[in-house]
């Protein structure tokens, strides 16, 4: 699966959040799990979601789709929606549930669908 070329997001925003907010969220979560032994599937999923939202990860963490550059808000929302589908239907799941939950939580926060930052 491949998404069309993503329009670069405003360099000051990622989804609906400021670039600084997303960077800080990523760095704070990374510091908490500073090492593979401290990380959980949930935190790994959230870190991966943040990296992809920042344009530093390819392919997309749930669907495996790729896009050129940083994903815009519609692509971020589509990936969060794909996470919801996989969370709701175990037959759709190809990766651990907690990992998908972490990706969803990070992308939902980035997209402004939640005020709870992972």
Instruction: Report pLDDT digits (tens) over 52-106.
Output: 999 998 899 999 998 888 899 999 999 999 999 999 988 877 889 999 999 999 9
pLDDT band at 4 (very low <50, low <70, confident <90, very high): very low
Residue 4 lies in a domain: no
pLDDT confidence of residue 58: 84
Residue 18 lies in a domain: yes
pTM: 0.87
Q: What is the phi-psi region of residue 117: left when phi exceeds 0, alpha when psi lies from -120 to 50, beta otherwise?
A: beta
Residue 39 lies in a domain: yes
**Which residues have C-beta within 8 Å of that of residue 89, sequence separation ≥ 6?**
none
Domain that holds residue 71: 13-110
- Mean pLDDT score, 15-44: 90
Contact 67, 3 (CB under 8 A): yes
Residue 47 lies in a domain: yes
Distance CA 106, CA 91 (A): 23
Please provide the average confidence, as pLDDT, over all residues in the chain: 88
Contact 76, 111 (CB under 8 A): yes
Model confidence at 8: pLDDT above 60: no
Domain count, the chain: 1
Contact 58, 2 (CB under 8 A): no
Residue 3 lies in a domain: no
């Amino acid at each position: 699966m491949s998404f069309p070329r993503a329009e670069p997001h405003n360099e000051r925003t990622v989804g609906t959040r400021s670039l600084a907010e997303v960077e800080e969220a990523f760095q704070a979560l990374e510091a908490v799990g500073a090492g593979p032994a401290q990380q959980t599937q949930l935190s790994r999923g959230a870190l991966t979601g943040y990296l992809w939202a920042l344009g530093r990860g390819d392919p997309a963490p749930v669907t495996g789709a790729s896009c050129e550059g940083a994903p815009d808000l519609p692509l971020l929302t589509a990936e969060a929606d794909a996470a919801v589908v996989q969370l709701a239907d175990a037959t759709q799941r190809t990766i651990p549930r907690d990992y998908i939950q972490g990706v969803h939580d990070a992308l939902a926060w980035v997209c402004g669908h939640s005020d709870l930052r992972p």
